[in-house]
Amino acid sequence: MIKQVNINEVLTNPNNPRTIKDDKFKKLVKSIKEFPQMLEKRAIVVDEAMMVLGGNMRLKACKDAGIKKVWVDVAEGWTDKQKKEFIIKDNVGFGEWDWDAIANEWEEDKLDDWGLDVWQPEEEVDYSALDDVDLEGALSGKEQGVKRGIQIEFDPEHYEEAFELINKARKEGKNVGFIALNAFRDC
């Protein structure tokens, strides 16, 4: 059932797995201000308690845009399992962009304003200053002795302890990579 309600009746889902970065959020707010009619065709999906299942970022952007009423589509009779499934499936990006069609049919600056990340050519770089440099000779043998890194993830509750222990070992002149290698050999 699609209906228009006061924006304050709609509850943000605290378990929303999606985020939006500042620049993209600003573009979403701008888009809503410029074309609020699209909100009726892209209603925020909520459950019977008015908790958002799909459209948390649009709801947040609508609030920032000063919108007082939003369109919601109430998912009635859904199980908790169906609600959780919808939250993920609604945010999965299926399909691929046809970049040739996009390049020929839409203006690049408009696409960027609308939040679509479009390829931007790099500025022309003049590498002629390197013409007389023998890079191959200068770089040969340099790989020997160059340290390389591996990223290791820690759960939040272990991160601080790991950080402190690694820094302590480094200050004592220990080879942290060798310590980790030996620990993995013992696994």
Question: For the whole model, what pTM was predicted?
Answer: 0.57
Structure tokens at 44: 């925020």
Q: Which domain holds residue 83?
A: 2-89
In a domain, 116, yes or no: no
Task: Count how many domains the chain has.
Answer: 2
In a domain, 177, yes or no: yes
Q: What is the pLDDT of residue 122?
A: 62
3-state SS class at 53: strand
Question: Which of residues 89, 116, 134 is at a domain's end?
Answer: 89
Report how far residue 34's alpha carbon sits from residue 172's, in angstroms, rounded to the nearest whole number: 59
Could you count the other beta carbons within 10 Å of the beta carbon of residue 48? 10
- Phi, psi dihedrals of residue 76, rounded to the nearest 5°: -90, 140
Q: Is 152 exposed, middle or buried (0-12, 13-18, 19+ CB in 10 A)?
A: exposed
Q: What is the pLDDT of residue 132?
A: 75
In a domain, 124, yes or no: no
Task: Per residue of the chain (187 residues), give pLDDT as tens.
Answer: 899 999 999 999 988 878 888 888 999 999 999 999 999 999 999 999 999 999 999 999 999 999 999 999 999 999 999 998 898 888 777 667 777 877 788 888 788 777 777 766 566 667 777 777 676 666 666 666 677 777 888 888 888 888 888 888 888 988 888 888 888 888 7
In a domain, 104, yes or no: no
Q: What is the pLDDT of residue 135?
A: 67
Report how far residue 184's alpha carbon sits from residue 80's, in angstroms, rounded to the nearest whole number: 41
In a domain, 100, yes or no: no
Give me the CATH number covering residue 39.
Answer: 3.90.1530
In a domain, 172, yes or no: yes
- Phi, psi dihedrals of residue 73, rounded to the nearest 5°: -115, 110
In a domain, 167, yes or no: yes
